[in-house]
Structure formats: C-alpha cells, structure tokens
Structure 1
C-alpha cells in the first residue's frame, strides 16, 4: 500500500527539485524518511519532487522523526534546503541552469544591480515594490513569522521551476552554500588578496572584534532637493552628502543608495548591512515621506560610517567621494565594484583571524546564545513598536481632543460670565478665557509631540529590526561551517585536510563573533542615546505643559 500524506498548508516551489502542494491535497510518498526536513513524493498533478515535511500530515500511525547531525528532528518547519547551479557568467543570464547537482557555486556572482551604465540616471525607484518581492537584506518571510522562524526560506525567483528529483545528498544550510561558505571551508576558494583588502579580527577581553578604523569619520545628509531631467518630464530627489574626512559634498539619489546596498550585501555575507528605508510608489515628493526617508537614510549612514569594515570598503568610499559631475570616474568605480572577485567564497580569504584559534564548542555556545537573544529582542521590538504607535495615535487624536474639549468647556463658562458687565468681573473673565486657550494649546502640544520623541524611537527600532532580520542568514553560514568541521572529524578526514577545514571554520567563526560583538556595542550606544533623547523630550514636553498651566494660574492672581 502506497504511503499517503495530506498537505496542511500551501507550498509554492521556487527551486528545481521541489514541487508545489495545495492545502488538503493528497500526496504519494516514496518513503517516510525525512532528509533535513524534507520529504519526497508525487502530488495530485503527477509532479515528483521535494516538499517540507512540516507542511504535510502522514496518514499512518508512525511518528515522523529523523536522526541527523547528533539531533532529533521532528516534524517542525525545516530549514530551507538549497541546491547549487552552474550559471552563465553573463550578468543576469539564468537560461543555462541545469538539473540540480551538488556542485559548488561560482565565486564571481552576477551583479544584482538593475540597468547598465547608459541608464544609470533612470528612475529605478519609480517602480513600486510588489508584495512578492523579497525584502531588503534577505528573503521574504510570512507575515506571521518572526525573523527567526524556521520556515523554509525562498530561493531566487529567477531560478527555473522543474519537477526533476534530486538525490539524497542535500545541504541543509542554504545560505551557507549561497554565501560561498561551503566552498571556502572545503578549500575550493582561491584568489589574490592585497594587504589593503585584508579584514583583521582582533581578540579583546570580550572575544573576537573587528579591528577599529584608525581614521573614523561621519557623514551629513542634507535635506533633499527636487531635480528634473528630460525637460521636466521626470523628477527625482537628490541628497547632498558631506563626509567629514573629505568635506566635499556629493549628490546621490535613492537609486544610488540602492545600488550600493546590493553591492555590500553581495560583498559581505557575514556582516549585517543595515537596511535602507523602503521604496514607495506614490507620494514620493510629499513632505512627510521625504522627511521620513531622510531620517531613515541618516540612521543608515550612521551605521555604515561606524562599522569598522563597511566604512572602509572601496565601494562605500567610491559612493561617498566620487564627484557628482565626474560621470566617467563614477562609471569606472561602478564597474570595478560589480566585477569584484572577493565575493562569495573568496570573501573569507580576506579575513585575518587572531593567532590563537577559537574553541569551536565555545563558539557554538556563544552563537546559540546570541540567536536566543536576537529572537527575544526581535519579539520585544515588535511589541514596543505596536505600543508606541498606539500611544502616538492616542496623543494625536484622543488626548488632543480631550484637552480641546476641556478648553471648549471653559470657553462656554467664560462666555456665560461675560454676560455680567460688572467691572470687577472683567479680569476673572479674561483669566477663564486664557485658561480655555491654554487647554487648546496643550491639545496641540500633544498632537505635535510624537514627532519629537516617539518617531525617533520608531526609526531606531526600524534599523534594528532590519539588522535582526539579517542575522539568521549570518548564523546559518557559521553553523554550516561548524557542521562541515564536525562531519570531517567524524568521517576520519586525513590530518592535513581536517586541520585545513578547522582553520577555515575558525576564520568564519571569528568573523561571525566579531559581527555579533559589533552589533552589541552599537546597540548599547544607540539605545542609550535614543532613550536619553526620548526622556529629555518627554521632560521638556511636560515642562511646556506645566509652564502653560502656570501662566493660566497667574492670571487669577490679578482677578
């Protein structure tokens, strides 16, 4: 009798070797064996391939579990399995993808930027971001899922769909493969690294940390100006950037930030590149949106300039220093960045770790601790965001209206008193009228206050929610390296080969822990400063209210 299963949820395949399933659909299984969270079978349309084990219910009495990597995996949502492909070296060409095999990815990946040099001045950000596009810095996640959900991660939408069945030799760490981590650990990476390209990790009392930038700098972002081209047919916003180490202003558009972001994500697989403010299809020239985007870009720039690695990389310096009017120099730097060979597996060649290797068990413990911390932080940020948004709504609408109602009530009382024409009542009437106006003014204070204290906190939460969304992929890279090292040891790899794998695993571990340490240091700095600002603004706010009430009180001294 054939093994059967019923789909509990919809699953849309996005990689060759997978099949789509629909809720309540009956599936035929090849076996009950779960490999890294995946089952293999045939759907009701006759397509054969893989689908997540946790998305289906097996229609028999046996419990579904599988022993792997020293752990027992039950029918929880699996980590996404990934397959490597041989790609054409031509940018954007995906037509040569073949049936999935366990091959290592090329080290020079196709550029993810849109357009060519000729359309470099087109409005890339005119196009709306659609719901099915992945969010910046990672893969799209279901709305109900947190950043650390173990739901299957989506592959590239450009990958061709196929019902071809792959073999059982699957890699559980999809990000590990995509980032080139697996190829590096197995010694497949090779390339020339200049001394200025080396990224040094030093050992501090807190563990591995990125070596500090000996020449730190900041960057100011001015209010954007509206520019036009094609005789006014197209409009765009231009931001003036002034780095402190050059004091020369350059003008950049949002699409330039977007291009830079894509380069950085491709270049640094174990560094959390801060997310850019989201795109917007309509209302791009409205004052509120322009102000909000500028604030988001300021946060983004602050995190970039204070990161010891990101701030010094060539592509970021090109973005900050290349003259806005030197089109030739800009294109040369752009092409150089897009042809960078130190991406993927070759990126890890640039890491220079401390002399003493780390204890891999200690690394694993620290990474697991950070993962638990980040998950809890992500949940708490969401709660704080919801609470502050509700508080701001009450201030703008509820509190404002309540104070205005009080003011209107005093106004009615004052109008009644004015019917008394006695001279000695004049000053009392004036005091009551002033009290009415004071409460009206306090209502306006509440309406405007969220811009001063709540919105800056929300901006801070947004930048950190972006960072937290990046860390699952970073952790997957380190976990993949650690798993490879353990597998090699278990399989009795020859001494020289095992030493090389452990050494390369140590490099990835050092980089991962250094990035986590940088996250904690930056978090302490940002939340300390922002909470101080929030409380200072709250105190100033209530002092303004107190001052207005004291003014009203003094009016009665003369009544």
Structure 2
C-alpha cells in the first residue's frame, strides 16, 4: 500500500547508486518500506524512483481514516550473512542504528567491489561488509548539515538504582571473574590509582576504503586497524565502532568512555570527511589504548584482533551476554583493604565535582573557539588577505598603464606584494587542518570524558548514601555492615582511580596537544614572516 510523505531534510543521493536526492518540502509517494532498516523506496513528482532515508520524511496524514490493512508478511530471509538462520539466532544479528544487515565477512579472504579513497594507495587485504550506514533516528537528532548526534541519555537512570543497590547489599549473584583489576592507594593524597599497563601498545588507523555491494546499491567506508602487539590488520567500519561503544557503555558505568565522532548522513563519502573521520577515530583508539582497564578488556581486544568469522560471532555473543556489567563490574576490582573514612572522601568528592564541572565548561568554550577559528581561516581570514592582495596587485597593474609595454620595477614590486598576500590567504585556508582542527578533535574526546565523570562521582555518592542507610538500620548485623562498607569502598576507590587517570591524561596527553598546537601556530606565522621578508628583499 503506497502513501504520501513530506521531506523534512535535504538528502543528496550517492551517484551511481539507487539513492534518490530529495529536497525539503517535497512530496513523495512511498512504494516500499521493507527495503531495509532506515531506507524507504519512493517516487517523486518527476516520476523518478529511488531510495531515501526514512528519518528524512514524515507521513502525510490522510484526510479520511484509513482502512486497516492486512498484515504484511516479512520477505523470506532464510540466511543471514553469518550463514545461519535469522529466525533461530536473533541475537546474532549485527543490527544497529545504521543498517539492517549483519557483519557479513570477517576474514581477509573475501572480495568485494572496493576502491581506495586515495589514488596512490593499493587495495589490499580488504574485508567485505554489508550495506550503507543510515541511522534509525529513534535515539538520535539531526541537524541541517547531515550530522546525527545521539541524544544525551542518562545511562544510569534506568538501572543504576537496582544494579548499584544489588551490588552494595550483595543481593546480586556473585559471578565468576577470570581476571582481577587492581587499584592501589598512595596515602591520603592519591586515594585510588589504576594498576599501570604492563604491556603498552598502540593502534594505527590507516587507508580508509570505500566499498560497495549488491551492484553498487550499498556503499560503506572501511577503516584498517593495526595493533602494534600483533601487526595484523583488521578492517572495521563505523557501525562496528558504534557497537563496541555501546558494549563499553553498558559494561563500565564507573569508567569514563571516550566518545565516538558523530554519525553523518550527507557528505559521508567525501574525501575530506573520510580523512577527518579517520583522525577522530584515531583519537578514540588512542585514549582506549592508554587506559589501564579499557585497553585490556575482552570486548576491545576482540574488536582489535578477530579476523575469523566464527570467532567474531562467538566473541560478539559473549560480549552481549556479559553479566559483569554496570555495578556488577566492581566484582572484578581488587581494591586496598583499608577502609576509607567518609570525612576524607565526602569533601574530596564535592571538590572534584566542582572541578570537573569547571573543566567541562572551559573545554566547551575552547572547542567553540577552535571551531570558530577553523571557520574563519577557511572563509573570513582567507577572504580578507585575498582582498588585500588583489588591491595591491591592481595598483601594480595600474602602474603599467603609461609604460607603453616597457618594464617597470615599481609595478613588479607592488604586484609581488599583492601576490604574497594572496598566498597568505591560501595559507590560512589550509592552516586550520594543522592546528585548530586537531585541537578541536582532542578536546572533543576530553569533553566526552568530563561529561561522564560527574555521573561516576554521583554513583559514589549514591553508594555512600546506601551505606549510611544500612548503618542506621543494620541493628547489629556486623557481617552485613562490613560487607556493605567494603563494597562501598571499592566503588570509592574506583571513582578516585578514574579521576587520577583523567588528571594524568590532562597533564601529559592534553598538555602535549597544547604544545603541538602552539608549535603549528609558530610554524605558520614564521612561514608568513618568511614570505613577507622574501617580498621585501625584492625591493633591494
């Protein structure tokens, strides 16, 4: 049954595919809604048909109440891309907000129609994946530039009360733990500190590739990740990062998870966007590698190393069935036995809440400044220097009017001034990629961390409140009270260990970023001075 829809946002279809470009306010006739999660097929007023994102349109209400349609049978799909029945293994689907297909190929022995984003890069060891990333907008918002941002959902609102209470009161089942995570204390100054990473490593993201399937109907970008501990390249696309991030957020509510770059609908195949997305994902990966807990967790290592289809499927199912999530994750933590006094902790927690809030606001402000400067470099600054250059160049050209074709040194010198300022304008256009954009990307990571830390500190406060409640009502049950105090201390040690890691990152990684930014600024202005000096010497 067809129906009419109104277009809410502009969408530019990818050339050479079945995607159809649509414009805001346009009316379309929908002919199919079972193309795939997030895609509809329809016809525009010019009788052109094609695919477009469901989230970009709204249904036009019928003037009369519609009759109840007969139930629509789902098209047969006996096999998913793992080679097994979907009906029998719903939990094996790779569904997410972007795509209804599963992760079709894990090993490097499959081929698809792929092309390198850069002409000088060979197309080697690529993986095959499923269809193009399009969001289900149920939990997302979208701006007029095609950027999709997840709503700021409080992950603690739905389960922290029961999960935290169950852990504190030992009503949650005791779960088997394969590996203990150690926290150390260094007097009253450093209440909690994660165990140092014993085998540090790095992961490089390179060679983003565009690939297609189904005769070009579906497109996606795959990024190549190479961990230093294995030197084995794996290929992942954004939807797999998104799945990983969801698993990390579900498991670690007492650890700050770095954010992913926002999802993008329009312009997602442009070379500049793809390279910037790669750099943003690299920042995410770098933070993960430096964190003592996140860098060694099973789902992260599985994400970095798995190249076998069956093993990937098994690891994915294990991650999604993990019971050591939320407050129960604290069962994995081995903290100091020394009890922490509330008189020591409470003022520190309030102090750190104020500190993190202030940091969060200042990071936001600097991000806004960086973004503003980046725009000005590509527009206003470039335009102003080009205008200056053109004015000088026009004056130099005017000098030639009465020279009757004869050489004029004054004319050449003035025109050289104009040319130099036009070159400076072009330098401004490119410079933002060297300093302001990397600074913004780094701040984006820390903005995500400072957004998580208040929730972690509030979990500690909630656990402390629960402990005091038990102390008032325990009526001499010393065994119960001792266990409650112990588990509350573990959460407190964990919160302070995470704060300590954030401060170390601030003093090393963020400080290095500021140094790099300043060095790039210095190099830029030295380059400008050099060009002005060269122009000045031509007057001699």
1:481-518 Cα offsets, whole Å, 9 max, x none, are: 10011111223442221111101100111111111111
Partner of 1:130: 137
Q: Distance in 1 between matches of 2:141 and 2:324?
A: 25
Deviations 1:203-261 (A, max 9, x none): 13623111011011000000310112223321111111000010111111111111111
Distance 1:459 1:155 in 2: 24
Is residue 2:472 matched to residue 1:490? yes
Structure 2 residue 523 is matched with structure 1 residue 540: yes
- State the shift of 1:425 in Å: 5.8
CA RMSD for the aligned pairs? 2.7
2:324 pairs with one of 336, 339, 342? 342
**Aligned counterpart for 2:164 among listed residues 176, 181, 186:** 181
Secondary structure of 2:207 counterpart: coil
Extract unaligned runs of 5+ from structure 1. 1-109, 142-152, 157-172
Which residue in the other structure is 1:226 paired with?
Answer: 210
Where does structure 1 differ by over 4 angstroms across 4 or more consecutive aligned residues?
Answer: 110-113, 115-118, 122-125, 153-156, 422-425
Q: Which residue number corresponds to residue 533 of structure 2?
A: 550
What is the CA-CA distance between 1:422 and the residue it aligns to?
8.4
What is the DSSP-based 3-state SS (H/G/I as helix, E as strand, rest coil) of the residue aligned with 1:193?
coil
Deviations along 1:265-303, one digit per CA (max 9) or x if unpaired, are 111110111111111122211122212211110110001
**Residue equivalent to 1:265:** 249
TM-score by length of 1: 0.69
Partner Cα separation in structure 1 for residue 207 and residue 517 of structure 2: 23
Deviation at 1:188, TM superposition (A): 1.2
CA shift, 1:132, in A, is 4.8
Q: How many residues align?
A: 415
TM-score normalised by L of structure 2:
0.72
Q: Secondary structure at the match of 1:207?
A: strand
For 1:417, the equivalent position in structure 2 comes to 399
Change (3 A) 1:134 1:433: closer
Residue number in structure 2 paired with 1:25: none
Q: Does 1:406 align with 2:393?
A: no
Superposed CA offset, 1:132-152 (max 9, x none): 5389xx9945xxxxxxxxxxx
How far apart are 1:358 and its partner, in Å?
Answer: 1.9
Q: What is the rounded CA distance, in whole Å, between the counterparts of 1:371 and 1:529 in structure 2?
A: 25
Question: Deviation of residue 413 (structure 1)?
Answer: 1.7
Of 357, 366, 373, 1:384 maps to: 366
Tell me how far 1:367 sits from its aligned partner. Answer: 1.7
Does 1:114 find its partner at 2:95?
Answer: yes
Q: Distance in 2 between matches of 1:113 and 1:365?
A: 45
1: CA distance between counterparts of 2:362 and 2:191?
26
Asked whether the 8 Å contact 2:132–2:219 carries over to 1, the reply is no
What SS does the aligned partner of 2:340 have?
A: coil
Query: Matches of 2:530 and 2:218 in 1, distance apart?
Result: 49
1:514 to 2:497 alignment: yes
Report SS of the residue matched to 2:204. Answer: strand
Question: How far has the Cα of 1:111 moved from its partner?
Answer: 10
Match runs of 1:146-157 below 5 Å: none
Which residue pairs with 2:453 in the alignment?
Answer: 471
Question: Closer, same or farther in 2 for the Cα pair 1:330/1:426, shift >3 Å?
Answer: same
Return the alpha-carbon distance in structure 2 between the equivalents of residues 227 and 302 of structure 1. 26
Tell me how far 1:419 sits from its aligned partner: 2.8
